[in-house]
A and B are shown apart, each in its own frame.
Chain A
Amino acid sequence: MSSNTIAQDAPELRSINRSGIEVPTSVAASAVHPEGIGAPGAYPFTRGIFPDGYQGRLWTVRQYSGFGTAEESNERYKFLLAKGQTGLSVALDLPTQCGFDPTHPMARPEIGKVGVSLSNLSEAEILFRDLDLSQISTSFTINGTAAIIYAMYLAVADKQNVPRSKLTGTLQNDILKEYVARGTWIFPVRPSMRLIADSILYSNDVSPRFNPISIAGAHVRDAGATAAEEMAYTLANGLAYVEELRARGGDVDKFAKRLSFFFYVHMDFFEEIAKFRAGRRLWARMMKERYGVEDPKAQHFRFGVVCGGSSLVAPQPYNNVVRVAVETMAAVFGGAQSIFTCAFDEAFQIPTEFSAELAVRTQQIIAYESGIGRTVDPLGGSYFLEEHTDRMEEKIMQVMGEIDAYGGVIRAIEDGWIQLRLAERGLERKLDTDSGEHVIVGQNHFKKPNEEIKVGEVFKLDPTIAARALEKFQRVLDTRAQSAVDAALAKLAIAAANDRENVMPYLVDCCHAYATVGEMVACLKQEWGEFKEPVNL
């Protein structure tokens, strides 16, 4: 209501947080049980995975690096590297993510829109032209076709004569949350699990410094899950991957060292800190107690975060700067290994140079001016935080228990049960926001009268990108040796049909032969079928 004045509007402080936990007004000292907490760097790692916290190594400051064609991204990467950045992040367009070549009718309107079109090895060669892959770390936001893109990355390294063992970087490669919240699935759940296990096991062998999976809760969170559900779904997914990897002959002591996680940080400060502390403790405990993992590195719960996301809104956009700062502090107190801060205008336009820089400065101010990273887990031992961590842990375990009771994460996804829960949660959150019960300053309380909210371009839309991509694509089809493509795809089909094979080497061979992503996906679909979306609303 525009008639609301600041003085009149006085929303209530809710005593139950969104995860459904009663937040006490005060906590007695007796609520804390020091024996279950442990020291920093010691099992169960409530207080962090390193004894020296950020004194040993600061979190990785991740930066926005833009979209465009492979050529434009390549220029941008060179620029960033020249400025001293060592990590690149690669976003792929939707046709690449969903396994369609640019010529597919579904692909046409989406070519190059939300990322680069990497339809075949020649595009990857352009993307990484004149970059020394042994010196940079590349992070790929890719899931449904992650194994193929990873194969392509290996093929580029081969072409550049860079030993595969020197490659570093991260693949998102987390298909389970795609079925639930992000939608770039291709194959049914079970063969997808095999593909992921194949890629992880292969990566462990040939590129042991590469992180072949980043198990993500971020997307379910943004879609509506509570903090506790975000952690519970992610841990449940993590365990499902562990089971699959073990079933495919993986050694948990080895592969668990290369598992990493990825979350959103929203605005409830202590809920977020407790979420990370509880998640870290639970993961270590499950690794040790369920799988007998003794190597601390394989018990470690390493995670990156995004601060912002759906907690940022368009009205009074500068408020978002404050939100991101608060969330970043929560991430630091939670012990994150890498932090991405959203630009304050990301909710309604492509970030400007100014807003993107401010996002990075926010992290630097917190890292170097505030001093909160000097001491490891500085809030550890707080009566409230320790008690809250315990409550959060219980809540996470309760949600995981519900999934188990349903029949496990895979069945719950196949049946659409988790998807339905999430949709209901999303509706709940939206209704709470509409009603103002969930306070968002500037949007549902303390509004500015007659504020005009203008949404700008959210994606860089260059109408020539699609035409250029199609032209390059055709050139590759015209110049490659078709017989080599056919032979490589035929071998891939045989490997896919044999559950005891690892498909990765065959995918790398396909990439070397300039088989396209669409062709490789079609070949695998032939063997594995396609996911059928269970729509239970």
Chain B
Amino acid sequence: MLSQLANASALELAQRPLRAVTSNPARRIGITGAPGAGKSTLLGHLALLRRAKGRLGVLAVDPSSPKTGGAILGDRVRMDELDGASELYIRSLGSRNTSDGLADNLPEMLDAMDDFGFAEVMLETVGVGQVEYAARAQVDTLVLVLLPDSGDTVQAMKAGIMEMADIFVVNKADLSGAQKMAADIQRIAALNHHDPGSWVPPVLLAAASQPASILALSEAIDRHQAWLGTSNRQEILHEQRARYRLRRLLEMRIAQVIAQHDAAFFAAPLAEQLLLTLEMLGRVSVRP
């Protein structure tokens, strides 16, 4: 089922039967951060804790090679502690054609997880920058995992950092510099003015070897989930998701159409190229 979804073209997706909105959608927790930040291991420990809260699924996205489309999907090995937890479902995804670090048809796959009756879905994505913005809308709670020595990253995203994540985790807290890193993020957070009732992202220190730190992270997620219920944030997220999905479907369709053009096509004046392409895009109803 997920394989079919993952491989579906934009038109196939658009033509899927209308789906009744699930009355009980899965909680969506995103874990994102740079390669090597220890996301998978952290997620593994977190999942062990959180599987008591109902059926848990994990979708882990790894980058695909832009050249061949191939990918090594290694996240599940890093979630070793989940081995033998048979009630737990892990699915590795290549980012395939997306340029934002999410996987092709991810929104549809997340919906499918709702339909399958999962209580919670954890989404792991790689990268710093664009992927956070893309992942942002797909999940209810976004956890950004940083390493003690990723100070440059923090500087680089200073401006938008508070919008980026709901929870910050400085991982591998046993390494030197972790405290300072956490303090830096706190400081940047303090620069932002907060309205009463708004969510103030906590900055946590974590290490896979320290169970208490994982528990604290899990509790922070719960607090954020509870806060969501009291705010209008969910509505905003739903709208963002709808926008993302439409844009994604269009982008996929555009990529498909452009791939059909040959070299001769691009010899034509740009205006003509554009018109012809738009016309082809509009010709969807005749295609199966």
Contact = CB atoms under 8 A, between A and B. Distances in A.
A529 B77 CA distance: 17
A162 B36 CA distance: 51
Contacts of B54: none
B41 A535 contact: no
Which A-B residue pairs are the 8 nearest by beta carbons? A537-B72, A535-B77, A535-B74, A532-B80, A537-B74, A533-B77, A415-B36, A536-B74
Q: Range of interface residues on chain A? A: under 10
Nearest to A411: B175
Contact of A535 (B36, B78, B209): B78
Contacts of A24: none
A534 interface: yes
Contacts of B77: 533, 535
A533 B80 CA distance: 9
15 contacts: A415-B36, A529-B209, A532-B41, A532-B78, A532-B80, A533-B77, A533-B80, A534-B78, A535-B74, A535-B77, A535-B78, A536-B36, A536-B74, A537-B72, A537-B74
Interface residues of B, number: 8
Interface of A: 415, 529, 532-537
Given A534-B78, A536-B74, 11 more contacts: A415-B36, A529-B209, A532-B41, A532-B80, A533-B77, A535-B74, A535-B77, A535-B78, A536-B36, A537-B72, A537-B74
Contacts of B80: 532-533
A327 B154 CA distance: 54
A389 B72 CA distance: 39
A177 B124 CA distance: 31
Contacts of A415: 36
B12 to A, nearest CB: 31
Nearest to B76: A535
Contacts of A529: 209
Contacts of A535: 74, 77-78
A529 B80 CA distance: 13
Contacts of B209: 529
A324 to B, nearest CB: 37
Contacts of A536: 36, 74
Interface in B196-238: 209
A35 to B, nearest CB: 42
Interface string B1-45: 000000000000000000000000000000000001000010000
A161 B64 CA distance: 63
A537 B35 CA distance: 12
B142 to A, nearest CB: 24
Nearest to B77: A535
Nearest to B36: A415
A534 B36 CA distance: 10
Contacts of A533: 77, 80
A536 B78 CA distance: 10
A146 to B, nearest CB: 24
Nearest to B81: A532
Contacts of A534: 78
Interface in B53-84: 72, 74, 77-78, 80
A97 B174 CA distance: 31
B105 to A, nearest CB: 25
Nearest to B71: A537
Interface string B66-106: 00000010100110100000000000000000000000000
A60 B114 CA distance: 68
A534 B78 CA distance: 7
Contacts of B78: 532, 534-535
A179 to B, nearest CB: 14
A187 to B, nearest CB: 13
B67 to A, nearest CB: 16
A415 B147 CA distance: 13
A506 B160 CA distance: 56
A383 to B, nearest CB: 46
A71 B77 CA distance: 39
A532 B209 CA distance: 12
Nearest to B149: A407
A537 B73 CA distance: 9
Nearest to B44: A532
Contacts of B74: 535-537
Contacts of B36: 415, 536
A537 B74 CA distance: 8
B176 to A, nearest CB: 11
A367 to B, nearest CB: 48
Nearest to A415: B36
A536 B40 CA distance: 12
A532 B42 CA distance: 13
Nearest to A530: B80
B63 to A, nearest CB: 12
A415 B40 CA distance: 13
A408 to B, nearest CB: 13
Nearest to B74: A535
